[in-house]
Structure 1
Amino acid sequence: MAHGRPSPRVLTGEQARRIAVRAQLLAEPRPTDLLDVVRHLTVVQVDLTAAVAPSADLVCWSRVGGAFHPDDLDDLLDAHEVIEVDGMLRPAEDLALFRAETAQWPGAEPLTEWQVRLQEWVEDNDGCRLDILDVLRSGGPTAVRHLPDTCVRPWRSSGWNNNRNVTMLVSLMERRGEVAVSHREGRERMWDLAERVHPDDDRVVPLDEALEERARRRLASLGLARARVAEVPGETYAVGPVGEEVAVEGVRGTWRADPDLLDRVDEPFEGRTVLLSPLDRLVFDRRRLAELFGWEYQLEMYKPVARRRWGYWALPVLDGDRFVGKLDCTADVERGVLRVDALHRDVTFDPGLEQRVDREVEELARWLDLEVAGPAR
């Protein structure tokens, strides 16, 4: 008798959603330690759009609640316990998982045509690279606009980076491990030598081991993920073969599940009502969002006003293990109000849900030190 590959465990849609919500620290009990939150999430995307609050602050508030103050995140950055790398906040100790990859920049052989072009462009502008390092070495943290542009070969592209030589060169120097974001002054990143920003621990985890550990930690933060996915900007959602293979009722293909969360799938689940950043990891991969939650969402800030359905920076509204709507609101600091322009309801709101969402809007306003104005009914 032939023995085939065993069938994967099948999760109900509810079980799958609850794994994903628990993994993102959006169920009860609410976490209390901010550094532990960043460590568990592995990445928090930096985006300074402040229609309500900067995304990283919203992500932390959604987990920690009113006890979180943006200064707390700044303190972790100032202490270099959390670092900014390529537009993402990461726990500083995770650098050990990236050093082997950094040492291979622009990538492992054989290089792609694009990687060769990057390498040649940096080599052609080596004089400017050395000038930038000299300025940082002698002057300390410096904004890009104050760094010298002595490039002999301009950056050419078909997009918005055309002629932004220093911006692109510094970005590539970051990926080479030469410079790092020291801190921000307002909206500007201040760059310094990586050796003065990054922790003294110079451990290098071998590449294969590092990639596997990063995938394992990524899966723990997502709960459920595909082995392979179409790439999204920023941090990937793919996890390869780590975890346990499962299927989800009504969804094609198989998933990888975090073993610890899979073991807890039948434990009582106590959800929360939460307002999320549009860039939150739970919603950023729109395909995954549709597959697991059956919910449609888009960030519409780049759309013309007439084509927006939900608003410039509409906040996804999570209730327990389901998404129930989008909150179109704006922090009007000058007037001291959180202006609510619309609450787009995707399900029928009973009185209990109405109260939970109202209470969360009030909590958001209180955290921002604002008063709610014009809640939609």
Structure 2
Amino acid sequence: MTHQLTRDQARRIAVRAQLLDAYRPSEVIEVAEQLGAIKIDPLATIAPAERTILWSRMGSAFETFQLTKAAESDRTLFEFDGAFRPVSLLPLMLPSMRRWPTRPSTREWLDANHRFRIEVLDRLRAEGPLLASDIPDTAEVARSPDGWSGSNQTVHMLDFLHRQGEIAIAAREGRHRRWDLAERVYPQNLPEFEYDEAERMLDERRLRAAGIAKQKSPWTRVGEAGEPAAVEGLRQKYRVDPEALAAIEEDEGGRTAFLSPYDGILFDRPRLRELFDFEYVLEQFKPQSQRRYGFFAHPILMGDRFVGLLEAEVDREHEALVVAAVHELLPFDAEEHDMVRAEIADLAQWLGVDVRAW
């Protein structure tokens, strides 16, 4: 049976799945378990992505130390591919990590640098956890700079060993990562899964985080997880999480939320356009003369609709949240203005700064 959904229902399922409805979780791990990934990014016009993503869900209940504690002390989170993830996902990811890499050029580089690989592992075993700068570059064959990494081959080797599940990020010092053997960072005695079973379970977790996704979306890969759904006015085939569908009548309503440009709900741009009628373009890489909403504008979600963008920046020298503009995609009424102002005040309070009038 194919579920017939209105766009309103589809949006509410997506918003609830991303913990952006009226309910506020109180624990970092609760957010991570539901979202599956909390993107890490150092750009902080307001706050780094990982902190903004958690604040958008938890509000004032979130304090920065909770994230560090979960990742480095409790080990309920682990860092992989630029995101914090719940440890419950690790057993499902390990079968794929053990098959990596699939690209021949990467395999060739690893084979050519076998001695370098062993030296890095031996140094971590003897001295870890270490920063990349603590590990000499003794590569026999170099990779060309890719625009993101420099010429230091140690950075590449650490990344590749991480992707293969042999080493892990034990801690951070600011934006610098400390590396160690995976066996000393990841929990032991994790359940074992075959590759196909693990991939199926990962599809289910991705759908749980999305609530609803196109069946063949390259942005939100859900495979055959969930149940088939059709959304009013859309030709595409969707899959819906049955638990999210069953809970739709329990919806307690929405709220106002400011979202990091790297928030997970924004990642699937086609779905964002089709369900929310929201065409989001991050203007970070546009020339200033071509920007309409600012360098790093944060989308404003109100209920299940994107209504505007917040253009703001923290001035640490003067301890102020400087709001350059609230861009209204549709004119706000008086109540909506009040809701946005209240959320700005809450944001400033969480940041520990004053709001500079705009």
TM-score, normalised to structure 1's length? 0.91
**Residue 226, structure 1, aligned to residue 185, structure 2:** no
The answer (yes or no) to whether the contact 1:336–1:370 under 8 Å persists in 2 is yes
Distance 1:137 1:149 in 2: 17
The answer (yes or no) to whether the contact 1:275–1:317 under 8 Å persists in 2 is yes
Distance 1:270 1:160 in 2: 42
Instruction: Report sequence identity in percent.
Output: 39
Query: SS where residue 35 of structure 1 aligns?
Result: helix
Counterpart of 1:183 (choices 171, 176, 183) is: 171
Task: Flag the 1:300–1:164 CA change in 2: closer, same or farther, 3 A.
Answer: farther
The equivalences for 1:1-377 within 5 A come to 8-79=2-73, 80-107=75-102, 115-156=103-144, 159-161=147-149, 163-231=151-219, 237-375=220-358
Query: SS where residue 245 of structure 2 aligns?
Result: helix
Query: SS where residue 129 of structure 1 aligns?
Result: helix
Distance 1:75 1:201 in 2: 22
Distance 2:316 2:148 in 1: 31
Deviation string 1:290-327 (CA, Å, 9 cap, x unpaired) is 11100111222222222211111111100001010000
Q: Which 5+ residue runs of structure 2 have no aligned equivalent?
A: none
Distance 1:169 1:81 in 2: 26
The answer (yes or no) to whether the contact 2:124–2:181 under 8 Å persists in 1 is yes
Deviates more, 1:263-272 or 1:28-37: 263-272
Distance 1:337 1:215 in 2: 43
Shift of 1:247: 1.1
- Per the alignment, residue 3 of structure 1 pairs with none
Shift of 1:159: 4.0
Deviation string 1:98-148 (CA, Å, 9 cap, x unpaired) is 1222222224xxxxxxx1211110111111111211221222121212211
Q: 1:275 is matched by which residue type in structure 2? A: F
Distance 1:329 1:158 in 2: 32
- Structure 1 stretches of 4+ with a deviation exceeding 6 A read none
TM-score, normalised to structure 2's length? 0.96
Task: Flag the 1:170–1:57 CA change in 2: closer, same or farther, 3 A.
Answer: same
Distance 2:165 2:146 in 1: 27
Distance 1:275 1:221 in 2: 19
Shift of 1:93: 2.7
The answer (yes or no) to whether the contact 1:131–1:148 under 8 Å persists in 2 is no
Deviates more, 1:297-306 or 1:314-323: 297-306
Shift of 1:250: 2.0
The answer (yes or no) to whether the contact 1:226–1:240 under 8 Å persists in 2 is no
Deviation string 1:320-359 (CA, Å, 9 cap, x unpaired) is 0101000000011111000000111001200100000000
Shift of 1:54: 0.7
The count of corresponding residues between Structure 1 and Structure 2 is 357
Shift of 1:251: 2.1
Distance 1:27 1:304 in 2: 35
Query: SS where residue 49 of structure 1 aligns?
Result: coil
Shift of 1:230: 3.1
Distance 2:277 2:249 in 1: 22
Distance 1:352 1:164 in 2: 54
Distance 1:49 1:373 in 2: 21
Q: 1:371 is matched by which residue type in structure 2? A: D
The answer (yes or no) to whether the contact 1:143–1:189 under 8 Å persists in 2 is yes
Query: SS where residue 285 of structure 2 aligns?
Result: coil
Deviation string 1:10-46 (CA, Å, 9 cap, x unpaired) is 2111111000000001112211122111111111111
Q: Which 5+ residue runs of structure 1 have no aligned equivalent?
A: 1-5, 108-114, 232-236
RMSD over aligned Cα atoms: 1.4
Q: 2:308 is matched by which residue type in structure 1? A: G
